[in-house]
Structure 1
């Protein structure tokens, strides 16, 4: 898993171009849940800053962290100048400074499970908010999905990332909400889904796939061939379901 987690820097510019951003309503959702002013935030696995700009452009002082220097270099092109960047994995962040909000956008699954929530709690003020949001876009048409799966099969069994705790996709509470509910450090766990559809050209759909870690680990000739097949086989437009699943939780008050 760590190899996949560190594979994105080589395609940082494509990641910025082809990955969708986050809807503005997400900011209001997090702030409404917080129920009080949030002045500082720490972002885990910031990538190219898709979520960073959502919060930093609305008056929150954001510290954006990522273990990949190339991703942070791309991020700095797109976020306000006062965003602080730190090159570090979540597990390497030093304790001490605390924030009103800690969030992860499509990155929490790359963190190590050992002491994950204890580490998270140590980064938050008592009563502070943790937010995780994301979701891999998938093809809306089952027939197109089956065709792409067949084209991919000789090279790759699946491009999915399995749930870190084994929770099935159809379960009422998805990961990380399942873990948060079991954690002694957090309370008031909520899950919301923001519905979203995207329409892409075949070229942009392949561009999106070119930023998915499972494809990045393929040998270049195989990767080019599977992209060629998919690009020619998906039709003139590609309809994606790109729902954003949001998990919110509150750091328990210190006893």
Structure 2
């Protein structure tokens, strides 16, 4: 797991304060795809529980995992007491119990692509559902966006995370849907977008940036300098596009055929 993936614990309280939560529409989209009442959810990379509470508050039994103990400490302050927490990266979650839903909210890109989907399938009941959601927060005003880009440029070319498999931003199916369509364990891949516009203060926007991994891995003096530079070019109030892209897929009931030329074992 990369240093960027493990950079959030030092700002767990700020992450909780400045990162937007998830709307009830996300639960509704997932629930409609599942097609029956959800009983159990395994969440990978749960962070401070932004998505965890959305499901747990609606009677779903959630097991929230994260590799960072500080993030889980913050999560426990905000979720129902019956949420089970496990300190583990996705790759270290032990198969055994199977879940009706495995959820990754703004977290899947931190996982190891090697064996990702067979590992995911091992955690799901036959017919169970995998859900991934996330999306960048983007300044709605192009002039403000350009001013921020110029302020950031001496320190960072970009503060985003490129598509893990190189999918073009204008492709009709975005990652991880592109991978799921090729994964033999999964079927019924769907992509949808929950559109959101949020208004926040300049200070809160810079607070949000202070929790973004691209800034967190900068040396502290540079991080403080670039955030000050950005603060100077922002108006008092800003509007952001905070759309959430949702990918859903269902684990096949049957075991997939082994690759050509290989023998089934076990």
**TM-score tier after normalising by the smaller chain length:** over 0.9
| Deviations 1:165-189 (CA, angstroms, capped at 9, x unpaired) | 0001111000000000000000000
| Deviations 1:202-250 (CA, angstroms, capped at 9, x unpaired) | 1000000000000001111111111111111111211110000000000
Q: Name the SS of the counterpart of 2:38 in structure 1.
A: coil
Aligned to 2:37: 37
Q: Distance in 1 between matches of 2:37 and 2:21?
A: 24
Q: Distance in 2 between matches of 1:169 and 1:12?
A: 30
| Deviations 1:135-168 (CA, angstroms, capped at 9, x unpaired) | 0101111111111111001111110101110001
RMSD of aligned alpha carbons:
0.8
Q: Distance in 2 between matches of 1:42 and 1:83?
A: 10
Aligned to 2:259: none
Q: Name the SS of the counterpart of 1:2 in structure 2.
A: coil
TM-score by length of 2: 0.95
Q: Distance in 1 between matches of 2:113 and 2:197?
A: 31
Structure with max Cα Rg:
2
Q: Distance in 2 between matches of 1:72 and 1:184?
A: 33
Aligned to 1:66: 66
Gaps of 5+ in 1: none
Aligned to 2:142: 142
- 2:130 aligned with 1:130, yes or no? yes
Q: Name the SS of the counterpart of 1:74 in structure 2.
A: helix
Q: Name the SS of the counterpart of 2:4 in structure 1.
A: helix
Aligned to 1:151: 151
Aligned-pair distance for 1:196? 0.1
- 2:20 aligned with 1:13, yes or no? no
Aligned-pair distance for 1:95? 1.0
| Deviations 1:53-82 (CA, angstroms, capped at 9, x unpaired) | 000010110000000000000000000000
Q: Distance in 2 between matches of 1:169 and 1:6?
A: 26
Q: Distance in 2 between matches of 1:51 and 1:181?
A: 25
Pairs aligned (count)? 255
Aligned-pair distance for 1:134? 0.8
Q: Name the SS of the counterpart of 2:172 in structure 1.
A: coil
Q: Name the SS of the counterpart of 1:215 in structure 2.
A: helix
Gaps of 5+ in 2: 256-266
Q: Name the SS of the counterpart of 1:224 in structure 2.
A: helix
Aligned to 2:211: 211
Q: Name the SS of the counterpart of 2:3 in structure 1.
A: helix
Q: Distance in 2 between matches of 1:184 and 1:163?
A: 21
Which runs of structure 2 are paired with 1:159-170 in the superposition (5 Å)? Answer: 159-170=159-170
Which runs of structure 2 are paired with 1:114-129 in the superposition (5 Å)? Answer: 114-129=114-129
Q: Which runs of 4+ in 1 moved over 2 A?
A: none
TM-score by length of 1: 0.99
Which runs of structure 2 are paired with 1:172-191 in the superposition (5 Å)? Answer: 172-191=172-191
